[in-house]
Structure 1
Amino acid sequence: MAADTIPARFFSQGRARPESPAYFVRKDGAWRPTSWRAYNDQVRTAARALIALGLEPGQGVCILAYNRAEWAITAFAAMAAGGVPAGIYTTCSPVEVQYIVDHAEAPVVVVEDRVQYDKLRDQRERLPGLRHIVLMTGAAPADDPRALTWSEFLARADAVPHEALEQRLSGLHEDDTTTYIYTSGTTGPPKAVMLTHRSILWTSEVLSTLIAIAPTDRLLSYLPLSHIAEQMLSMHGPACFGHAIYWAEALERVPDNLKEVQPTVFFGVPRIWEKFHAAVSARLSQVTGTKRKLFDWASGVARRYHALASRGRPVPLALRAQHRLAQRLVFTKLKAALGLGSARACVSGAAPIAANVLEFFAGLDVVVAEVYGQSEDCGPTTLNIPGATKFGSVGRPIPGLEVRLGEDGEILVRGPSVFKGYFKDPAATAEALQDGWLHSGDLGAFDEAGFLHITGRKKEIIITAGGKNIAPKNLEAALKDSPLIEEAVVIGDRRKFLSALLALDRAAATRWLAAQGHPADEPLHEHPALVAEIGRWVEKSGEQFARVEQVRKFKLLPRSLSTDHGELTPTLKLKRKVIEKQWASLIEAMYDGAD
């Protein structure tokens, strides 16, 4: 394998550290390791099985499952056999699943269980090219000749000699497409981002330098592997550097798994950090007396310490000593209780996060570094790193990438991590790639220190009836600074003024009502005291913006926004058109009779 490819790196780990743990699965109350030698063998067997099923080089292999060892085994096996793995979010509907399987031209789909299998069964007439469905767990339906259990699938490898796989491996090239990352489709059908071995491996090398990844690190894999960030952390990073992955049992088990694993590197989307924020805030509200005074002192020390250290500035000896004492008295136990006791690198990405949330964590002695990027450049474009972190920014460009702003403020990127294009979509490719520059669709600004600040997204710009262009991102972030507001959607395109749909954080709202001496009567979104309090917040948060940018009216939603209702993408980004259609009557009520 002369070419430097992902499978070449992956199999090199089996030779370099054959008995070291590659991944852990929790079974019978304990985390059970699998060695790199065994992991390599599992992938080789699965790759031969795919060849036995008729997979040809360049064909897609779709994977529809929550994070687990079989997900990564299938993806690496598909790459090794010359195929192109394509992850599908488990929250996708049968119609969305059919679209991706058909678009990827996948003859084989590997699913987690019967629940995910049924999505394909419902669409069987619209998938004439689908020849095999492999179930990772459970029995295969007896009435479907295409269906195989995981063990039946692996048994097919016996018909393919090892030499056949070696031939496939030797035919791989660094600039081959090695994976499709399907975009989450906020404005239309998902597009398949084509990433190469070269681009992914280059990005892995840069990230390893920036956050000092080593074979001794351990990560908990729990965010969807269909997303490039999780693939970089849970698959490509380990293939390059040999660190161990713990596969979370389920999303609802992540808090417990975190405490057990105590990962050294932890990545979370803003919603995850916001949930941490809410949970810790709720517990702190019950702490009084001496303990509260001790925490407030420690928190102040941590904030002062990280305000200097995160920017690479010298920390006075006295403050260093206070910080060590605060760690010993407060933070060591507190961070371990969160599952972050060993975390030396914490990162937030995939969507904007409020600066006050980052500052809150700094007060817990946890520095959360915000990253910005997209699937089209393998994940990271800019990153806050130790000694060069600025809350409220998304960091500086990673070394080796050129990042500049277009005349309209659009963020443009050029460098080794930029994608080949969109599979079977030359028009979208031509729009996104111009003269070697990736046009991100995001709007930004650099400050005097070279840190990038995201100011909005081109396709989300609101143009009011008065012709004013307004980016809703900053307005929504300001509204979400209230602990009572879980999500905010600013409305106003072609309208005379801005309004907002607000989703309550129900737990925080209930606590607030109790603290004010009010019963938490349902429906909460109509509770007069809550409506009044949020009204005061909407007015106060608007003071930092020009009058035309202030939200004049709002409506509280009766429930949270969700992926189940199609209002959020699998990575929890707003699907504005769906939201505006779903809640059209509430929106119109805010504008009825308005002058």
Structure 2
Amino acid sequence: MDAQDDALLAALPQRLHEIPRRWAAATPEAVAVSEGDVAWTWRELATAVDEGAALLRRLDVRPGDRVMIVGENCAAQVALIFAASQCDAWVVNVNARLSPREIDVIGAHSGARRALYTVAVSPDAAAHAARHEAERTTLPHFGEIAIGALNEHCTPEPVEADGACQVAALIYTTGTTGHPKGVMLTHRNLLFIAAVSSRMRRLLPPDRVYGVLPISHVYGLASVTLGTLYAGAAPSAN
């Protein structure tokens, strides 16, 4: 790495959820994320993250637990990713368009403490939620989501203060050559990719980015979504 990369690494925060905190303090009324005709400001995104973190704690999600989010790109999914970070839980983003077998294999392998389904924006997520008899609830910022049963057999992983050691996301491969394989990515992994991506694309806070790749894909998460937000720019979540 060169001196520029060293400086970039030194400037990285320790956790993903520090991204919305930073911009909510700097530009609270600027647009942070959009979904159709709805646009959240940084202040609203930060509030939604707090709301999501409070929900996870009420659902007995502990630091080091895995939280599976079954959905398609939406503002609620973005907020839940940061909410999991705020709770020091690992987020497991799963594309709702996967088959029931694929969803079930990932859920079992990850040992997720809870599964949440973005039923308000994804008919496929709603179908998976119904299949798993997930309970539906409505939150002020998220709208309607569904919550799976508590996995009492989930064992939390150790939590590290250093973002270079603490896992933020468990990303699964497509499983085209067998069962999907989980890849652990730390906060530092994702934040470094986000910072480099935002720099390479020369993104600025007034910019808007249309995100096509699913957030469940590592590039869609790290480079497109987090990279855009890291720069203070606004991704379109659908």
* TM-score range normalised by the length of the shorter chain: 0.7 to 0.9
Distance in structure 1 (CA, Å) of the matches to 2:203 and 2:124: 36
Aligned mate of 1:241, from 224, 231, 234: 231
Residue aligning to 2:175: 185
CA contact (8 A) 2:92 2:169 kept: yes
Q: Match of 2:46, SS?
A: helix
- The verdict on how the C-alpha distance between 1:7 and 1:104 changes in structure 2, with shifts beyond 3 A counting, is same
Q: Deviation digits for residues 301-355 of structure 1, max 9, x if unmatched?
A: xxxxxxxxxxxxxxxxxxxxxxxxxxxxxxxxxxxxxxxxxxxxxxxxxxxxxxx
In structure 1, the partner of 2:104 is: 98
Please tell me whether residue 25 in structure 1 is matched to residue 15 in structure 2. Answer: no
Matched, 1:83 2:89: yes
- Does the alignment pair 1:48 with 2:54? yes
Partner SS, residue 215 of structure 1: coil
Distance 1:61 1:178, change over 3 A: same
CA distance in 1, matches of 2:86, 2:161: 8
| Residues 408-557 of structure 1 mapped to structure 2, 5 A cutoff | none
User: Which consecutive residues of structure 1, in runs of 5 or more, have no partner in the other structure?
Assistant: 125-143, 156-169, 249-595
What is the rounded CA distance, in whole Å, between the counterparts of 2:59 and 2:224 in structure 1? 27
User: In 2, Cα distance between the equivalents of 1:70 and 1:43?
Assistant: 9
Q: 2:202 is matched with which residue: 212, 216, 221?
A: 212
- In the alignment, is the contact (CA less than 8 A) between 2:207 and 2:234 conserved in 1? yes
1:198 alignment partner, one of 174, 179, 188: 188
Q: Does 1:4 align with 2:10?
A: no
Q: Aligned runs of 1:296-445 on 2, under 5 Å?
A: none
Q: Cα distance 1:150–1:193, how it changes in 2: closer, same or farther (>3 A)?
A: farther
Partners of 2:187 and 2:177 in 1: how far apart?
28
Residue 222 of structure 2, aligned match among 220, 229, 232: 232
RMSD: 2.5
Counterpart Cα distance in 1 of 2:79 and 2:222: 15
> Shift in Å at residue 220 of structure 1?
1.2
Tell me the residue number matched to 2:162: 173
Q: Secondary structure at the match of 1:184?
A: coil
Residues 215 and 152 from structure 1, CA distance in 2 versus in 1: closer, same or farther, beyond 3 angstroms?
closer
Q: Deviations over 1:382-437 (max 9, x none)?
A: xxxxxxxxxxxxxxxxxxxxxxxxxxxxxxxxxxxxxxxxxxxxxxxxxxxxxxxx
Matches of 2:35 and 2:126, distance apart in 1: 23
Contact (CA 8 Å) 1:64, 1:90: kept in 2 or not?
yes
Q: Deviations over 1:160-179 (max 9, x none)?
A: xxxxxxxxxx9743120000
Q: Which residue of 1 aligns with 2:136?
A: 148
Aligned 8 A contact 2:68 2:115 in 1: yes
Q: Partners in 1 of 2:62 and 2:100 — Cα distance?
A: 26
Structure 1 residue 86 displacement after superposition? 0.8
Distance 1:223 1:61, change over 3 A: same
Aligned to 2:125: 116
* Cα separation, 2, equivalents of 1:234 and 1:149: 29
SS at match of 1:150: strand
State the shift of 1:234 in Å. Answer: 4.2
8 A Cα contact 2:31 2:42, kept in partner: yes
TM-score normalised by length of structure 1: 0.33
**C-alpha displacement at 1:3, in angstroms?**
5.7
User: Scaled by the length of structure 2, what TM-score is found?
Assistant: 0.78
Name the SS for the 2:175 alignment partner.
coil
Q: Is residue 173–residue 182 contact of structure 2 (8 Å, CA) maintained in 1?
A: yes
**1:210 to 1:238, Cα distance in 2 relative to 1, 3 A:** closer
Output the CA distance in 2 between the equivalents of 1:213 and 1:153.
27
- Answer yes or no: is the 8 Å Cα contact 2:32–2:41 preserved in 1: yes
The aligned amino acid for 1:242 is G
Distance change (3 Å), C-alpha of 1:39 and 1:152: closer
Contact 1:97 1:120 in 2 (8 A): no
Aligned residue among 53, 72, 85 for 2:78: 72
| Higher RCO (CA < 8 A, seq sep 6+) | 2
Structure 2 vs 1, CA of residues 46 and 212 (structure 1 numbering), >3 Å: closer, same or farther?
same
Bigger Rg, structure 1 or 2: 1
The residue type paired with residue 208 of structure 2 is R
> What is the aligned length?
208
Distance 1:91 1:32, change over 3 A: closer
Contiguous gaps of at least 5 residues in structure 2:
1-11, 144-158
Taking the aligned partners of 1:215 and 1:17, their CA distance within structure 2 comes to 9
Identity of aligned residues (%): 26
Work out whether residues 6 and 239 of structure 1, in 8 Å CA contact, stay in contact via their aligned partners in 2. no
